[in-house]
Amino acid sequence: MSLWEFANPVKFMALSGKVLPWVIGLCALTLIPGMIWGFFFTPEAANFGNSVKIIYIHVPSAMMAINIWVMMLVTSLIWIVRRHHVSVRAAKAAALIGVTMTVIALITGAIWGQPMWGTYWAWDPRLTSFLILFLFYLGYMALWAAIDNPDTAADLTSVLCIVGSVFAVLSRYAVNFWNQGLHQGASLSLDKEEHVSNVYYQPLLLCIAGFILLFVALVLIRTRTELRLVRLHRLDVRERMKDA
């Protein structure tokens, strides 16, 4: 069996219909306990005080904002190369989730920045590249809304997605490329010596898993809706042709 079989909308609908309840259940089992653990049961940090509780929402949302764009890039490339409708519809379905995650990351970052850096906003490399990524998300959604022909819209938004990927990569690695910004280094690292203490790390991992599963659940639901809209459009055209 090939992975490309799931590019068939009928097979995708059947498989996603079976998987979705499990994803929703797992999401509830990770996100809710992770958030409760992080908010209520983690101690004050020596340097950040209780403001450390913001990382349980800021870090997962920032990670998702970048990774959702990467997922959109992969699905857009599949569209460009193989013209699979399911892939480009999945990219379209992910955009609203991505923009929401970007807004959450920007707002929680700004709120955290005021007491820590003394300002809500600075033109720091990571913050600036994140703001540009947010504008790319808006542009991507606007482009889909502005073009009537779905194939043309898919082509143009896929190209926009490739261009915007520069800023997704910059958002991720800005703190490594430039060290003059206010934003501190990554909170998570594969190097055990570098990451935050376990008492914060474990609930953070649970929250990240919850955000990932929430994204998977939402993108499956939204892609299913997109595919239903395609079918609805085809039925509508057929009905109108019969009437004419």
Partner 1 sequence: MLELGKYADAILSSWVITLVLLIALVLVTWRRSVQVKRELDAAEERAKRND
Query: Distance of alpha carbon 5 from its chain centroid, rounded?
Result: 25
Which residue among 7, 28, 96, 147 contacts partner 1 (CB under 8 A)?
A: 96
For position 91 contacting partner 1 by CB under 8 A, the verdict is: no
First to last CA, the chain: 43
Q: Which amino acid is at 113?
A: G
Q: Which amino acid is at 122?
A: A
For position 61 contacting partner 1 by CB under 8 A, the verdict is: yes
Give the residue among 165, 168, 174, 173 at the shortest CA–CA distance from 125: 174
Binders of partner 1 among 21-50, rule CB under 8 A?
Answer: 39-40, 44, 49-50
Report in angstroms how near the CB of residue 170 gets to partner 1 at its nearest.
Answer: 24
Which residue among 23, 57, 63, 65 contacts partner 1 (CB under 8 A)?
A: 57
Give the residue among 164, 181, 163 at the shortest CA–CA distance from 127: 181
The residues near 159 (Cβ < 8 Å, ≥ 6 apart) are none
Report in angstroms how near the CB of residue 222 gets to partner 1 at its nearest.
Answer: 6
**Rounded Cα distance, 239 and 244, in Å:** 9
Stretch that binds partner 1, among 54-62, 65-73, 132-140, 160-168 (CB under 8 A): 54-62
Report in angstroms how near the CB of residue 193 gets to partner 1 at its nearest.
Answer: 27
Phi, psi of 181 (to 5 degrees): -80, 170
Report in angstroms how near the CB of residue 39 gets to partner 1 at its nearest.
Answer: 7
For position 221 contacting partner 1 by CB under 8 A, the verdict is: yes
For position 208 contacting partner 1 by CB under 8 A, the verdict is: no
For position 218 contacting partner 1 by CB under 8 A, the verdict is: yes
Report in angstroms how near the CB of residue 159 gets to partner 1 at its nearest.
Answer: 26
Report in angstroms how near the CB of residue 96 gets to partner 1 at its nearest.
Answer: 7
CA distances from 156 to 135, 140, 209 (A): 16, 9, 32
Give the residue among 223, 26, 211 at the shortest CA–CA distance from 101: 211
The residues near 110 (Cβ < 8 Å, ≥ 6 apart) are 120, 121
The residues of the shown chain that bind partner 1, judged by CB under 8 A, are 39-40, 44, 49-51, 53-54, 57-58, 61, 96-97, 100, 103-104, 107-108, 111-112, 114-115, 214, 218, 221-222, 224-225, 228-229, 231-232, 235-236, 238-239, 242
